[in-house]
Amino acid sequence: MGFRINSTGRKRIHREHVRIRLNEAGASQPPTFTADIQLPADLRLDPSAKIYVEPYVKSSSMRFDFGTVGQITPPANCVLSDIDAGAAVLFRVKVVDETEEIGRILASANGIRPENDADGDDRRPLLPVRSANLGEEIWRLDVDKDAGPTLVVNSRVPDLIEALKRDVYLQGAIYPEVVWRLVREVFGRDNDSEEDGHWVMDWKAWIASQLGREIAEYEVEDAEALELLADEVAASFASKNRFVSTLIATRQHAG
């Protein structure tokens, strides 16, 4: 079948019904993934409808055939050989009726983040952190309209994710800038989709909590006002976490 699709009347697959785990390979090998798909009976999908899992990074994507609704059959080889490196891999799941010339999407889920943690916690972090080869960049903020932001750190630097958890110098150099960018991202874009924009509401709530007040309309009415708000939130975040004071105290104690 080709890629011609009719999406009229599609149903929504909730993300708790799809669990995807990304398995990072060696430095020169592309990652692989596994997907556990449990479609609830109340979706009332045709058992003969096809299931496809589509990993993607920006404009690059792949498609993997996972059998049918009635017989889900993961492929033996789920290697992400044609996916761009350097950003977080996200996934779509589509259930497609292929009985007509143009396939019709019966149900779908977009912007699914793979599970990389092994602690069994199902809560979604506000800012997931993952590693990828970023060339000579140390870090990059990747924002997907469906799944939200991810902080990507360079996998060429050994144990950088672990270092970020404990190194106040790294935290102070990276996180306030991330917060500044996300304030502009969250309030400077149109987010009308209830499903795709769930992360936006989470971030708006977090930003309001940093300032201890709701954000007024005049604070986001134009680019200049939005920049001032981003400055205020980033400064408040840095002040609460006392990055510089902690770094000075740590160095004095070490000396």
pLDDT digits (tens, 9 = 90+) for 51-64: 999 999 878 899 99
Taking residues 184-213, what's their average pLDDT? 79
If one compares 190 and 185, the residue with the highest pLDDT of the two is: 185
Residues 115 and 173 in one domain: no
Q: What is the pLDDT of residue 195?
A: 45
At residue 36, the pLDDT reads: 95
Using DSSP's 3-state secondary structure scheme, residue 220 falls into: helix
Number of domains in the chain: 2
> Does residue 24 or residue 36 have the better pLDDT?
36
Question: What integer is the mean pLDDT of 237-251?
Answer: 92
In angstroms, the CA 108 to CA 96 distance is 9
Residue 201 has pLDDT above 60, yes or no: yes
**Which of 56, 91, 119 is the endpoint of a domain?**
119
pLDDT value, residue 116: 60
Within a domain: 98: yes
> What is the pLDDT, as a whole number, of residue 173?
96
Is residue 124 assigned to a domain? no
Specify the pLDDT at position 242.
95
* pLDDT at position 87: 66
What is residue 197's predicted lDDT score, i.e. its pLDDT?
A: 56
- What pLDDT shows up at residue 119? 41
239 and 177 in one domain? Answer: yes
Question: Is the same domain home to 22 and 115?
Answer: yes
Q: Residue 8's pLDDT band (boundaries 50, 70, 90)? A: low
Residue 129 lies in a domain: no
- 115/176 same-domain check: no
Q: Are residues 186 and 108 in the same domain?
A: no
Has residue 2 got a pLDDT over 60? no
List alpha helices for 95-197, DSSP H: 160-166, 168-187
pLDDT band at 27 (very low <50, low <70, confident <90, very high): low
Considering the chain, what is the average pLDDT of its residues? Answer: 86
Asked, for residue 197, whether it belongs to a domain, the answer is yes
Range of the domain at 111: 5-119
Q: What is the CATH number of the domain that holds 63?
A: 2.60.40
Q: pLDDT (tens digit, 9 = 90+) per residue, 39-55?
A: 999 999 999 999 999 99
Look at residue 162 and tell me if it is in a domain.
Answer: no
> Is the pTM value of this prediction over 0.75?
no
Q: Residue 233: which H helix or E strand, with range?
A: helix 223-241
pLDDT tens, position by position, 203-230:
999 999 999 999 999 999 999 999 999 9
For residue 125, is it within any domain?
Answer: no
Q: Are residues 96 and 177 in the same domain?
A: no
In a domain, residue 250? The reply is yes
* Torsion sign over Cα 115, 119, 120, 123: negative
* Shared-domain flag, residues 112 and 194: no
What pLDDT, on a 0 to 100 scale, did the predictor assign at position 35?
A: 96
Cα dist from 248 to 167, 177, 245, 253, whole Å: 13, 20, 5, 9
- Of the three residues 119, 148, 176, the one that is the final residue of a domain is 119
Same domain? 112 vs 176: no
pLDDT over threshold 80, residue 196 = no
Q: Do 202 and 110 lie in a common domain?
A: no
Same domain? For 73 and 177 the reply is no
Instruction: Answer with the residue of higher pLDDT: 144 or 85.
Output: 144
**Is position 40 within any domain?**
yes
- Between 125 and 239, whose confidence is greater? 239
User: CB count, 10 Å around CB of 21?
Assistant: 14
Residue 122 has pLDDT above 90, yes or no: no
Q: Compute how many other C-beta atoms are within 10 angstroms of the C-beta atom of residue 251.
A: 10
Task: Decide which of 119, 154, 176 is a domain's last residue.
Answer: 119
Residue 86 has pLDDT above 80, yes or no: no
Side-chain half-sphere CA neighbours of 248 within 13 A:
4
Q: Are the CB atoms for 14 and 109 separated by under 8 Å?
A: yes
